[in-house]
A and B are shown apart, each in its own frame.
Chain A
């Protein structure tokens, strides 16, 4: 009896689940970094506008 398909299947499951375990937090971390950057950029933009506006008002 050839066990090859069973061995392949078992090792494949092993590889796939480990890959998920390794990749999913890393991808989530990258998404988080991106969203934090975007929020920071937006806040910075608002601060610039506010600064320019108030600077103009005091002139």
Chain B
């Protein structure tokens, strides 16, 4: 227990975190790409076509992981913000703000792939499907956090204020989701939802597991990458940053 606590404390120091992130980043990205390669190959070439939706459902294998991630990243962001708020940990402030663009990216992918998937099924690019409508509101929540953080000059205060907004948004997420579902049942009755009635065949679960795992690893890698960059930006004037930057050149030139 003490070793873990010690490790956390040491990681909180900027140069230590920067070293840690730089070291582990490539491994997370590499593992993610590997699993992604396997999953996508299986999704495109191994899994049989769906009897109801034909080949278009292959989009599911990237749409569903990104949809789950878009929610997971938001929760992570809010939790980091809460930790930063309660325990005043500077690193958690940075981690929370680093989550926002990654979550927004996942949300954009979810919306785009959902729309593309829906086109052959609905006949239009958009159908106000309840899940996609909730995703759209989620995108606005992300953009709000990013915009609020960007509009405050003091970086620490910006992260705290935007983090508070993220926490408020988290409380609202289930409410928004439920309200959109109710709204859809009121106005449209039942439409063909994106997932359709076909149950997931056993052969479909494995590629999905690969792509989901790949996206989780990608998230960690991207989080480390963005966090270390944000950290370096804030500490650019410090001695450790200068030493590290110069050291990088000599190492490259050696």
Contact = CB atoms under 8 A, between A and B. Distances in A.
Query: Which bucket holds chain B's interface residue count?
Result: 35 or more
A32 B22 CA distance: 14
Contacts of A17: 105, 108-109, 112
Given A13-B113, A32-B232, A37-B246, A7 B55 contact: yes
A26 B160 CA distance: 25
A29 B101 contact: no
Interface in B220-236: 221-222, 225-226, 228-229, 232-233, 236
Contacts of B228: 29
Interface in B107-123: 108-109, 112-113, 116-117, 119-120
A contacts with B: majority SS: helix
A37 B245 contact: yes
B contacts with A: majority SS: helix
A10 B120 CA distance: 13
Contact of A13 (B54, B109, B236): B109
A10 B29 contact: no
Contact of B59 (A7, A20, A26, A35): A7
Contacts, number: 89
A20 B246 contact: no
B56 A3 contact: yes
Contacts of A4: 55
B188 to A, nearest CB: 23
A1 interface: yes
A50 interface: no
Interface string B33-55: 00000001000100000000011
Given A22-B221, A33-B232, 5 more contacts: A1-B120, A11-B40, A29-B225, A29-B229, A37-B249
Counting from the closest, the 5 A-B pairs by CB-CB distance are A3-B56, A36-B245, A3-B55, A10-B59, A29-B229
